[in-house]
Chains A and B, each alone.
Chain A
Amino acid sequence: AQSVAQPEDQVNVAEGNPLTVKCTYSVSGNPYLFWYVQYPNRGLQFLLKYITGDNLVKGSYGFEAEFNKSQTSFHLKKPSALVSDSALYFCAVPSYGNNRLAFGKGNQVVVIP
């Protein structure tokens, strides 16, 4: 089954520093990969996706993610974190042959002023 793993529980980063949220995947065939963010008391918001092509994908709010086939990773990055980036981040992959999303456990990001 298609799955993703987010190895860390919480990521703490100082404001202005680079932010990385890790995700590894296990899929058959070519992967489609997504990142979503959940702000407090809000629903999941789509950030970006990888389908094919350029391994560096740019998304909303200055986020980007790098698809690395050899490491089966799709880490989310932001060059300079803001306090407002503090939220829960989910990596997700659709199941093969349908579009049910399988989510990672989520990473709590805390940006320290």
Chain B
Amino acid sequence: EPEVTQTPSHQVTQMGQEVILRCVPISNHLYFYWYRQILGQKVEFLVSFYNNEISEKSEIFDDQFSVERPDGSNFTLKIRSTKLEDSAMYFCASSGLASENNEQFFGPGTRLTVL
């Protein structure tokens, strides 16, 4: 069964450093998402991406964040200058359609720890 994969599984970085989280969505999916889950809190939407551009972003997704689909398979989330409060589990998801009734498929997550 096809699945979303994410690398690395755990990333430790120093405050102020740049990090890139990588995702490989399901191959025939066209819509891609990043969510994050701070320890003990809700899963929160960050951004959605379609046709090589951001289709929606939340208030969390400020200028420190960017997303890119550098080739036909990878989807990346970059945090330019990490802050302590960026420590969280980051989930990538993809879906085949954009309709509201279509389920999203999630990867296993990258645990980001900012020291």
Same complex origin of A and B? yes
Chain A positions near chain B (C-beta within 8 angstroms): 32, 34, 36, 41-46, 49, 51, 90, 92, 94-106
Closest Cβ of chain A to B113, distance in Å, is 15
Query: With A43-B4, A44-B91, A94-B100 in contact, do A102 and B105 touch (Cβ < 8 Å)?
Result: no
**Which of B31, B101, B103, B108 lies in contact with A42, CB distance below 8 A?**
B108
Query: With A32-B100, A32-B101, A51-B101 in contact, do A101 and B108 touch (Cβ < 8 Å)?
Result: no
B104 within 8 Å of A (CB atoms): yes
A-B interface contact total, Cβ < 8 Å:
63
Cα separation A105 to B39 with both chains bound (whole Å) = 11
Contact assessment for B100 and A99 in the assembled complex, using a CB-CB cutoff below 8 Å: yes
Residues of B within 8 A of A97 (CB): 100
Residues of B within 8 A of A92 (CB): 43
Contact assessment for B58 and A99 in the assembled complex, using a CB-CB cutoff below 8 Å: no
Contact assessment for A43 and B91 in the assembled complex, using a CB-CB cutoff below 8 Å: yes
Closest Cβ of chain A to B98, distance in Å, is 6
Cα separation A98 to B6 with both chains bound (whole Å) = 24
Residues of B within 8 A of A42 (CB): 108
Contact assessment for B106 and A44 in the assembled complex, using a CB-CB cutoff below 8 Å: yes
Residues of B within 8 A of A44 (CB): 43, 91, 93, 106
Closest Cβ of chain A to B95, distance in Å, is 7
Interchain Cβ contacts under 8 Å between A and B, 20 examples: A34-B103, A36-B106, A42-B108, A43-B4, A43-B108, A44-B91, A44-B106, A46-B104, A92-B43, A96-B100, A98-B48, A99-B48, A100-B45, A100-B48, A101-B35, A101-B104, A103-B42, A104-B42, A105-B41, A105-B42
Residues of A within 8 A of B68 (CB): none
Residues of B within 8 A of A95 (CB): 100
Cα separation A43 to B103 with both chains bound (whole Å) = 14
**Chain A to chain B: the 3 pairs with minimum beta-carbon distance, closest first:** A44-B106, A94-B100, A43-B106
Residues of B within 8 A of A51 (CB): 101
Contact assessment for B107 and A43 in the assembled complex, using a CB-CB cutoff below 8 Å: yes
Closest Cβ of chain A to B36, distance in Å, is 11
Contact assessment for A46 and B103 in the assembled complex, using a CB-CB cutoff below 8 Å: yes
